[in-house]
């Protein structure tokens, strides 16, 4: 369900894409235009769909993500989409102005949570390990917003890294 925060009205009791219901994992809102992006997968495949602020039907998929996209983040300026790909063990970085893949960065097995620094230069990826202790966050960095590189791993930080948030 989507909620209009200006008046409290609701719409979209369920999201549909290509005539079939989605099995959503996570969502992100592009603050620059109100588009909603939903990650998920299921028997029919793997997807990241965008939904406009007035439509409950997917307006198109971002076909450049890997296998089983789990978490998603939009850059503050609304130009980049960052997505963890669970079974591909990588992240996808998509240019939302052209809907094209900019880069794919390999990370450890089973990436799940993702967040981005306010300047967009550091991407933090939580590696899912269930409820085991000693989990990892990997750091991907860019200087020019076109080349991305895995630069660091922070280990032994806790359990259940399914969602990450950047706090300034």
Delimit the domains of the chain by residue range.
Answer: 2-154
Q: Give the E-state strand segments of the chain in sequence order.
A: 2-3, 10-11, 16-17, 20-21, 24-29, 36-42, 45-51, 60-61, 69-74, 80-85, 90-95, 100-106, 111-116, 122-127, 136-141, 149-154
- Judge whether 21 and 28 are in contact, CB under 8 Å: no
pLDDT at 88: 87
- Judge whether 126 and 154 are in contact, CB under 8 Å: no
- Percent helix, percent strand, percent coil in the chain, to nearest 5: 0, 50, 50
Query: Cα angle vertex 106, ends 103, 111, to 5°?
Result: 110
More confident residue, 38 or 133: 38
More confident residue, 18 or 74: 74
Task: Tell me the average pLDDT across 43-53.
Answer: 54
Q: Which residues pair with 20 in a beta bridge?
A: 17
pLDDT level of residue 13 (50, 70, 90 thresholds): low
2-154: CATH topology: Methylamine Dehydrogenase; Chain H (2.130.10)
Name the least confident of 32-41, 54-63, 64-73, 89-98.
54-63
Entry pTM:
0.77
């Amino acid at each position: 369900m989507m909620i209009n925060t200006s008046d409290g009205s609701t719409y979209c009791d369920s999201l549909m894409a290509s005539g079939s219901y989605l099995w959503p994992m996570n969502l992100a809102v592009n603050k620059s235009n109100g588009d909603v992006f939903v990650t998920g997968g299921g028997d029919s495949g793997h997807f990241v769909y965008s939904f406009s602020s007035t439509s409950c039907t997917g307006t198109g998929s971002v076909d450049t993500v890997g296998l089983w996209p789990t978490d998603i983040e939009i850059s503050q300026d609304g130009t980049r989409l960052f997505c963890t790909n669970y079974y591909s063990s990588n992240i996808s970085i998509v240019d939302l102005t052209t809907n094209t893949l900019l880069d794919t960065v390999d990370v450890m097995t089973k990436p799940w949570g993702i967040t981005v620094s306010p300047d967009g230069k550091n991407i933090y990826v939580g590696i899912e390990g269930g409820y085991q202790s000693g989990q990892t966050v990997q750091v991907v960095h860019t200087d020019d917003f076109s080349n991305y590189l895995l630069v660091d791993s922070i280990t032994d930080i806790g359990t259940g890294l399914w969602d990450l948030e950047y706090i300034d």
